[in-house]
Structure 1
Amino acid sequence: MLPAQYLFDIEPYTKINKRDYLLIIPPDRDVVSKIMYFKLKAWEMIGAYPSLHSTAHITINHDYNIYASVFEEKLTYYRRKVSFINTFEVKISGFDKFQHGDTYTIYAKVEVSAAIKETLSKFNKTFSKGVVKTPHITIAKTITKEKFEILWKYFEHLNFEYSFYPDKIRVLETPTRRFFNQPMKMKTELKLKQVG
């Protein structure tokens, strides 16, 4: 069943259009659960906000508006290169913020250790379009200054320490969001090299 905003069946057109791909590190279940707790706490304080229902993840790379056939070729290369990159420790320590013009984002802060820097450098050499400069797990995205100030009083000094070792990079896919607003779905996973 199509959402009400579509006046015709878009399926044939989404098959031939370009796609958006998101490469992420999925945290372990404990982190996902804790981040959901923080998101719901934020919802109690300010009401609904854009990233409320997104599952906790660390974005590595975003390939926008690319033909699926082109990405499939990249994926073969990515899979081979990632299989030589060792698993690494991700340490989460407290919270921080971004400001984008008039809006703010609050996130769980990933410590940028020597191991993280080295891994991001390898990712940067592997993935097109570069990788994120500040790895993080979003709590509340693109919120107003007023809502940010309410939440920041809670999150600024809140203690949250956790670490985990990711074993994969997850690839998400959606028809390009320039024309459609559909949720991303898992396409595949790229396994990191297990050590020890």
Structure 2
Amino acid sequence: MNAYADYLMIISLPTELVKEISRYKRASVNAIGHFEGMHSRAYISVTHQVRCKPFLAQPAIVRMGQRLSTMPPVELYLNGFAYFSNGRSVRTIYAKIEMTERAENWFKLLTMQMGIKLQNFVPHITIARNIPVTAFNKLWPNFENRDFKHRFIVNGLTVLHRDTFAEQLEWKVHRELHFGNKLFAF
């Protein structure tokens, strides 16, 4: 057992949506060249916990899984694209989740059940991360007014882990945490 581990908690996406996002990433590479995360699998990142002691984190994850099992799944809707400004020199383009009242309430419940506080949390699916402004200015017109609508059901949370100080920083699935089995209105 290693001294420290990092944990990444994500919402995995349906295969067809992962393939669709991958097509957008490949088209972006064709337009601007290589960029960070161009080959990474699409997902919704919830939180990244770094340098945790596994003997403390793993039981906490089990308890969190028990709380999450009481939550309902949720249907999320993608509606177009947006971007973040990461300082003055880089931007991140992402597929935008429509934040309906139901989605907002569900994400609030999720973070409460996880026992975490996230400030300025914007659930999204990254297309092109941390690209220079010059590349962004070339790429953004391809996304700005593009119609992109997709809906999918979120049934669980995937917990990935990696050794903090390992030579190969590769994420591996640590645990799948499932939500309850019924959709209902909030």
Secondary structure of the equivalent of 1:195? coil
Listed as ranges, the gaps of 5+ residues in structure 2 are none
Match of 1:12 in 2: none
Write out aligned runs for 1:14-163 (5 A).
Answer: 15-101=1-87, 102-131=89-118, 133-163=121-151
What is the RMSD computed on CA atoms of the aligned residues? 1.5
Distance across 1 between alignment mates of 2:162 and 2:99: 30
Distance across 2 between alignment mates of 1:114 and 1:186: 31
Matched-pair identity in % = 26
Listed as ranges, the gaps of 5+ residues in structure 1 are 1-14
- TM-score (norm. length: structure 1): 0.87
Aligned amino acid, residue 83 of structure 2: K
CA offset at residue 183 of structure 1? 2.1
**CA contact 1:61–1:130 (8 Å) conserved in 2:** no
1:109-163 superposed Cα distances (whole Å, 9 cap, x missing partner): 0011112111111122122442471000000001100011111010111111000
Distance across 2 between alignment mates of 1:170 and 1:125: 17
- TM-score (norm. length: structure 2): 0.92
Match of 2:152 in 1: 164
Q: How many residues align?
A: 181
CA offset at residue 46 of structure 1? 0.8
The list of structure 1 runs, each at least 4 consecutive aligned residues, that deviate by more than 4 angstroms after superposition, is none
